[in-house]
A and B are shown apart, each in its own frame.
Chain A
Amino acid sequence: MKLLTVKNLTKSYQGQKTAVHPLSFDLHQGECLGLVGESGCGKSTLARCLLRIETIDGGSIYFKNEAIERLNERQLHAYRQKMQIVLQNPSAALNPKLKIKDSLIDPYEQYRKELSLRYFSYTSKKAFIKQLLDAVQLPESLADRYPHELSGGQRQRVTIARAISIEPELLVLDEPTASLDVISQGAVLALLAELRLSLNLSYLFISHDLAAVAQMSGRILVMKEGRLVDQFHRDQLMSDERHPYTKELISIFSS
């Protein structure tokens, strides 16, 4: 089943060259769709359009056959429960003045009235926070700390816990490991792979790191200068039919 359909999406910024040219792709329920591209290729613009933080210039974005550009405020609120995002820089995503437990509980409190949880259960705030920290393999003792007391990898786990706390259906992961060192990178990728299965999530995994994308995703899209230049299944990565730009990326990432 198609969870997300992007059809002829365009977006440009005033005075700048077009950020996203007509762009179309589908994301199926349960899959991890990979999106590879360099900085400036429009992949983060796309992510912002999907969340409707940006309004699109043309085309449509359908989430479960509903055009998100036509959602009213109340529907948009409901949509954002189903679609959550994890960004590159976890320090910017967490309020430095809030303890970890207070950052973690925030999305749940926004949605508690309409939310019926399937995987987590809310008996008390303390017990709920413990479940979330468990899910991302962090000790309960971190609940009372502040973001600056955590390592980069721990902070990114907290932002992941926050995103999954309201049990969304789709997670947009925009360079989730780019600011982490190599050991934390590997561990966060493994955690994300595990959560996808245990919470029945779908991912749009966006990264400049072709090796990470190929590890996480079956289907892979390649974006360059606002355009989708290549798309293929991981098994076809080494095929001769690949776009020259994909081949360039492969040569950089092969060792």
Chain B
Amino acid sequence: MLSIRQLSIRSGAKKLVDNVSLSIREGDWYALVGQSGSGKTLLSQAIGRMLPPNLQAEGSIFYKERDVLALSSEQMRTIRGSKLSYVFQDYQGSFTPFRTIGQHFEEYQKAHGCFDSRARQRNALDALDSVGLDESVYKRYPFQLSGGQLQRVSIAVALLLSPDLLIADEITTALDSVSGHRIMEFLAKRQKETGFAILFITHDWRPVKRYANRIAVMKEGQVVEAGEKEHVLDHPQHAYTKQLINAAPTLDRVLAASREEAEIV
């Protein structure tokens, strides 16, 4: 469905993303894992042609046989939102503070050519319901919602036009674990229902283990390892992948170590 071929992103002479190739199939939950500064966000921005203007992308990004990088801005607008959409870490930045949640839905749908106001409202309420939010949210302002609720609204908006690909960039990083978990469960449920693909950018292994089916590991602008989830997690080949996997504390490891200690004592 989406095929990135030898993509490089430069800032002047400096290569920030270096010759990356990867492809996402329909229905994939594709995890792109790496530390901050590894280039994973730039890579995802290049897909929607959302790179800052001082950065240049080379190579190609094929979305259903069309090279996204060669499209006109106008053609790009018909794809962004309806075929591929984004959810970001900074949910606060995704909302205009003086507009209600309902007005955000209105604006988004009008911009994409939905001119039937009753249909727009119905779509919005259905979308809110699909992420576990009730009608009262429609009239609220962003500051009246919690971080977890706002991020759920972002997902509802991003999925409104049934895109084929959702790009989710560190969407749970700014949330605590319980709300983060709830978001992931809603996202997984929606994906099961409608079958869109997800490019899931993260530095956290927990959601990767739980939801992804494929993984690419990025370091300093390059993909150092990629493959099926079980393969990468159980048999990491690259030293950096092993380091990443072992860096974060996990309950299983903590408990195993604590049992071992008890046996020695």
Contact = CB atoms under 8 A, between A and B. Distances in A.
Interface of A: 38-39, 152, 181-187, 189, 208-212, 214-215, 234-235, 237-238, 248-250, 252-255
A255 B255 CA distance: 13
Contacts of A152: 36
A255 B205 contact: yes
A233 to B, nearest CB: 9
A214 B176 CA distance: 17
A186 B178 CA distance: 21
A229 B255 CA distance: 22
A91 to B, nearest CB: 13
Contacts of B35: 181-184
A210 B251 contact: yes
Contacts of A211: 248-251, 254
A189 to B, nearest CB: 7
A209 B251 CA distance: 10
A174 to B, nearest CB: 14
A208 B243 CA distance: 23
12 contacts: A181-B35, A182-B244, A182-B247, A208-B177, A209-B177, A210-B177, A211-B254, A214-B249, A250-B251, A252-B178, A255-B205, A255-B251
Interface residues of B, number: 27
A181 B36 contact: yes
Nearest to A233: B258
Interface of B: 35-36, 147, 176-179, 181, 203-206, 209-210, 243-244, 246-252, 254-255, 258, 262
Contacts of A183: 35, 243-244, 247
A22 B145 CA distance: 28
A182 B203 contact: yes
Nearest to B182: A252
Contacts of B176: 38-39, 208
Contacts of B248: 182, 185-186, 211
A255 B177 contact: no
Contact of A234 (B205, B206, B258): B258
A248 B254 CA distance: 18
Contacts of B210: 255
A38 B178 contact: yes
Which of A215, A234, A238 has the largest count of B CB atoms less than 10 A from its CB?
A215
Contact of B252 (A39, A209, A254): A254
Given A248-B178, A255-B250, 10 more contacts: A39-B176, A186-B246, A186-B249, A189-B249, A214-B251, A214-B258, A252-B206, A253-B177, A255-B206, A255-B210
A189 B253 CA distance: 15
A148 to B, nearest CB: 15
A253 B247 contact: no
B14 to A, nearest CB: 17
Given A39-B176, A183-B247, A185-B247, A214 B255 contact: yes
Contacts of A253: 177, 206, 250-251
Contact of B247 (A38, A187, A214, A238): A187
A248 B252 CA distance: 15
A98 to B, nearest CB: 24
A209 to B, nearest CB: 7
A252 to B, nearest CB: 5
Contacts of A254: 251-252
B153 to A, nearest CB: 18
Contacts of A38: 176-179
A74 B206 CA distance: 48
Which of B205, B244, B247 has the largest count of A CB atoms less than 10 A from its CB?
B247
A214 B248 CA distance: 12
A128 to B, nearest CB: 31
A77 B109 CA distance: 59
B249 A249 contact: no
